[in-house]
Structure 1
């Protein structure tokens, strides 16, 4: 019987489990091109990721000339369609992640994902990368309905419940991850390699790691 102190380790997806910036940038630039806008670099897009597709599109339009009045839903649909068709061209798990999941699995820990990405896209991406079957639960930004995405703690609570309950750590790369984890009573761990909107030390997480090799040893000490 493992004496590991956590029953569940949950993860954000974009910028935490998987570096998805290349594919998200391509999809955003596809939509911007349809609007007659210039493309953005991956470095420009990274800080725009994490609050869902609508927010991403609005940020991209704002950065390339402004958000038009009565924004056409066709741009949103075009972005989603392109992304779904090209979801894992460049996206890869961050270094050390698979080894960390192997170690957690060996310890009998349940792992799960809670992301503001649409659940269907999260499942598709994790499936393409061979990670979906490793997760006891996958909760998307739309799983619980409108207004129930991070920073609300409700989807983290739903993730914990779906995993059978128990002491939980949640790993993320944004202040919304930290806020949601705190609200759900989970220990928050921030990654220094994610799509950071601010220095990782300013996120207010309980703990910070710079590589996935640090995750299990950190949690073992808590």
Structure 2
């Protein structure tokens, strides 16, 4: 991971950290995820799902995506069959991580600004860790993060608040100087349960409008993120865990 630059005058404390979700937050990955789901559905004799219809199935990891996709197709899966299809999904997706995936506008500039202001950066995603690392490296920003934590990194994952707090600890951050950035109910719920302020983005993968999930701040473009983080870091120091 990249070395942390010295703090500029008036910057937040050295433990200040911004933790990001990945899919639907930093990167538009729906095309490759749903594309992989459709490959698995086709192998099982089911019709492909239109991308716009299937976007809201994302956000809880590959197993949940498969279960949700097959439910939409009117099919149920035994635990054993789900595990087999999950492994098939991982194998195919691992070869197609960036066929159609790109960073959202303004991501690089926002990361530049946060780093210049002294923030550590970390990833907490329900994507498998190896896929998250490979995707972020392919998109050119993997080196920016102190740690990249996936669904399989620990024995728990979002919406469990420990997924975020363990990410902060692994990155050497201070939970009283942390902010979470995400696009889904799992992100908001985990951050709230951890007592960590959360910024919700409106352009990600959620069937419920982000504002209805009641994050501490809502942004519609990454240009707005540095200001949101600056406003929320003081709140982190006094916000009690739920």
Is residue 224 of structure 2 the alignment partner of residue 214 of structure 1?
yes
Select between 131-140 and 72-81 the one with higher mean Cα deviation. 72-81
3-state SS of 2:18 partner: strand
Supply the distance in 2 between the matched residues of 1:28 and 1:65 (Cα, whole angstroms).
Answer: 15
> In the alignment, what sits opposite 2:209?
199
8 Å CA contact retained: 1:175, 1:204: no
Supply the distance in 2 between the matched residues of 1:84 and 1:110 (Cα, whole angstroms).
Answer: 28
Q: Which of 150, 155, 164 is residue 163 of structure 2 equivalent to? A: 155
> In the alignment, what sits opposite 1:127?
137
Q: 1:68 to 1:137 in 2, by over 3 A?
A: closer
Q: Output the TM-score relative to the length of structure 2.
A: 0.87
Supply the distance in 1 between the matched residues of 2:79 and 2:186 (Cα, whole angstroms).
Answer: 28
Q: Which of 177, 181, 185 is residue 191 of structure 2 equivalent to? A: 181
Q: Which of 14, 21, 30 is residue 23 of structure 2 equivalent to? A: 14
Q: 1:132 to 1:63 in 2, by over 3 A?
A: same
Q: Output the TM-score relative to the length of structure 1.
A: 0.94
Supply the distance in 1 between the matched residues of 2:150 and 2:134 (Cα, whole angstroms).
Answer: 12
Structure 2 gaps, min length 5: 1-7, 233-242
Cα displacement (A) at 1:4:
3.8
8 Å CA contact retained: 1:192, 1:209: yes
Q: Deviations over 1:126-148 (max 9, x none)?
A: 11111111001111111112xx1
Supply the distance in 2 between the matched residues of 1:85 and 1:51 (Cα, whole angstroms).
Answer: 21
Supply the distance in 2 between the matched residues of 1:116 and 1:26 (Cα, whole angstroms).
Answer: 18
Structure 1 gaps, min length 5: none
Q: Deviations over 1:33-61 (max 9, x none)?
A: 11000000111221111111111001111
8 Å CA contact retained: 2:12, 2:117: no
Q: Deviations over 1:13-51 (max 9, x none)?
A: 110011100000110001001100000011122111111
3-state SS of 2:215 partner: coil
8 Å CA contact retained: 1:169, 1:188: yes
Supply the distance in 1 between the matched residues of 2:173 and 2:95 (Cα, whole angstroms).
Answer: 35
Tell me how large the CA RMSD over aligned residues is: 1.4
